[in-house]
Amino acid sequence: MARVIVFGTRDLAQLARFYLDCDSDHEVVAHCVHEAYLPDEPTLDGLPVVAFEEVQSRFPPERYAFFAPMSHRDMNKQRQQVYEQTRAKGYTLISYVSSRATVFPETPIGDNCFILEDNTLQPFTQIGSNVVLWSGNHIGHHSVIQDHAFLTSHVVVSGHCTIGSYAFVGVNASVRDGVTLSEGTFVAMAASITRDTDAWGVYKGNPAEKSKIPSNRLRF
């Protein structure tokens, strides 16, 4: 059991607190935001909201852990930055894996992962750090999801696939067996990926075609 500070005060942070309270042994003790976003009334549902720049003075890393389940903004770069800044402060980052997910023993899962209900991780899968798997995904056997990726809901990743760092995969998308999504690939909703992608490419359609706009120029 760890006493945990949750980064953020908006939807994902509120959901993270709900899941940790209802489905883990961890105790959420505070929320945390950058000082520029500190509210006038620094509380949320009875817990303090503290400035990230000063969090160690009130909640030292020797006694508290951290969880930063942020969104996919800027192709997951904002979440990656907070993840690295938190580690630099000396905090351990927990992961949340729903008790309603199918995860076989000894599946390697990194820190600061947010894995919700009804995910199926088949044997011999590997999950990196700072990964979000929203509800209802299938991760096929011998597949690897690298750091800082975000899979939405009802994504099918077939066997022996690699989902590269910073990738984003939209609702109901599918990835053929043996395919690699390169770093920063953006897969649109319901797209079907049948071959390896280019780094920072945007793919739409069935079968998916590459867009002329790179993913690191998207604003969402």
pLDDT in tens, 31-46: 999 999 998 889 999 9
Q: What is the pLDDT of residue 41?
A: 86
Domains in the chain with CATH codes: 3-88 (3.40.50.20), 97-203 (2.160.10.10)
Q: What is the pLDDT of residue 213?
A: 87
State the Cα–Cα distance between residues 6 and 191, nearest whole angstrom: 33
Q: What is the pLDDT of residue 216?
A: 87
State the Cα–Cα distance between residues 162 and 126, nearest whole angstrom: 10
Q: What is the pTM of this model?
A: 0.95
State the Cα–Cα distance between residues 56 and 91, nearest whole angstrom: 9
**Residues 101, 134, 17, 89: is their CA dihedral positive or negative?**
positive
pLDDT higher than threshold 80 for residue 219? no
If you average pLDDT over every residue of the chain, what do you get? 96
pLDDT higher than threshold 90 for residue 199? yes
